[in-house]
Amino acid sequence: MTTAIVLGGGGSLGAFSVGVARWLLVDKGIHPDIVTGTSTGAIAAVLVASGEVGLLSDLYSNVTTRDVLHASFIGDLNVILHGYTSSVDPLKNLIDTYLTEQRRQRIVNRGVKLQIAATNMQTGRVEYADETEPLDRLRKFVLASSCQPALMPTIQIDGHDYLDGGVRQMLPLQRALDLGATKIYASATSAAEADRAPITRRFLNSPGTDVFNYTLRRAVLLLTDQITDDTIALAVERGVDITAFRPAATLAGDPLEFDPATMAAMIDEGYLRAKQILP
C-alpha cells in the first residue's frame, strides 16, 4: 500500500490540518510515502514530510499576522502600480527559516515524496516541485504556493510568474494518485456544505462591518469550498480509498489573520475531528 497525506489551503485555517496531521502521524503512527501540499498546506507539507509534526504545531501556535503579511500605508499604491497589497518578505523569511538544506535532505533520506503545488500564471497550469529540487527552487515553490492573488506579488521561477497553488487546486489529490497512492488521507479546512455557517442580513448591516471585503472573501471561500467538495466527490466516485478530514462546522478564524490563540484552538479542533473520523 502506498500512503499519501494531502494538505489543502486556507491561510491561518490551515491550523486545523496541523491537528489532523498530529493525530495521523503521532497517535495513529502513519508514515506517509507521499505528502502533497498547496497554499498554506505547502509549508505544512514540508514539516509533515520531514516527520516534525511537533515543530509544525509550535509554528502554527506562535506565528502572527506580522510574521506572514506586511501591509502598510502604501498598500493602495502597490495595488495601482504592481497589483498587490502586501510585501512577501515576512513570509519568505519564515519559509527560509523552516525549509533548510538539512530539512530537505532529511525528507530525501526518509524516502518521502514531497509535492508542492503552485499555479503558473502564464500557462494557467498547476506545476509541482519535489524534495529533489535545489533548495532555492523548492523554497520559491513553497513561497509561490503560499502567495494569495492580489494580496501578494507573483514569484518568478525560471522566467515564469507563479502564485497560490490553490488558485487551480485547493486539494492536490490528483498528484498523489499520479504518484501511485492507494490510500489517501486528505485534510481540507472547509466544512461540508450542510455544516457551513450562513451569513445573516443583520450581520452585514451591523456597524463596523466592511461589507465589500467580507463579501469578496466570502465569495472566494464559497468557490474554493465547492472545488474541494467536487474534488473529494470525484475521488470517491472513482473508487479511491480516501479518508477526508473536514471541520464539523465553519472554522471561526479569518484566513488572513494569524492569531496564535485562535490557531492553537483550531489545531485542537483538527486533532479531535481526526480522532472522531479515524478512531
Q: What residues are paired with 129 via a beta bridge? A: 116
Output DSSP code: residue 26.
I
Q: Could you confirm whether domain 3-277 is CATH 3.40.50.10860? A: no
- Give the pLDDT confidence score for residue 232 in this predicted structure: 73
Cα separation, 201 vs 67, in Å, equals 34
* pLDDT tens profile 51-109: 999 999 999 999 998 888 765 433 444 433 344 445 788 899 999 999 999 999 999 99
The residue extents of the domains of the chain are 3-277
User: What is the SS3 assignment for 184-253?
Assistant: EEEECCCCCHHHCCCCCHHHHCCCCCCHHHHHHHHHHHHHHHHHHHHHHHHHHHCCCCEEEECCCCCCCC
Burial class (CB in 10 A: 0-12, 13-18, 19+), 90: middle
Does residue 262 or residue 150 have the better pLDDT? 262
Lookup result for grid cell 498528484: 175
* pLDDT tens profile 28-57: 999 999 999 999 899 999 999 999 999 999
- Give the pLDDT confidence score for residue 255 in this predicted structure: 84
Q: Are 155 and 147 in contact (CB under 8 A)?
A: yes
- Give the pLDDT confidence score for residue 10 in this predicted structure: 85
* pLDDT tens profile 115-153: 999 999 999 899 999 999 999 999 999 999 998 776 778
**203 pLDDT exceeds 50?**
no
For the residues of 129-198, what is the DSSP string, one character each?
EETTS-HHHHHHHHHHHH--TTTS--EEETTEEEEEGGGT-SS-HHHHHHTT-SEEEEE-SSPPGGGPPP
**Residue 207 grid coordinates:** 456597524
* pLDDT tens profile 205-248: 444 444 445 554 555 555 555 556 666 766 677 777 999 999 99
- Give the pLDDT confidence score for residue 20 in this predicted structure: 98
- Give the pLDDT confidence score for residue 147 in this predicted structure: 86
**279 pLDDT exceeds 80?**
yes
Does residue 191 or residue 27 have the better pLDDT? 27
Cα separation, 52 vs 252, in Å, equals 26
Distance (Å) of CA 184 to CA 6, 30, 213, 239: 7, 11, 35, 12
Q: What is the pTM of this model?
A: 0.84
Tell me the pLDDT of the chain averaged across its residues: 83
pLDDT bin (cut points 50, 70, 90) of residue 256 is confident
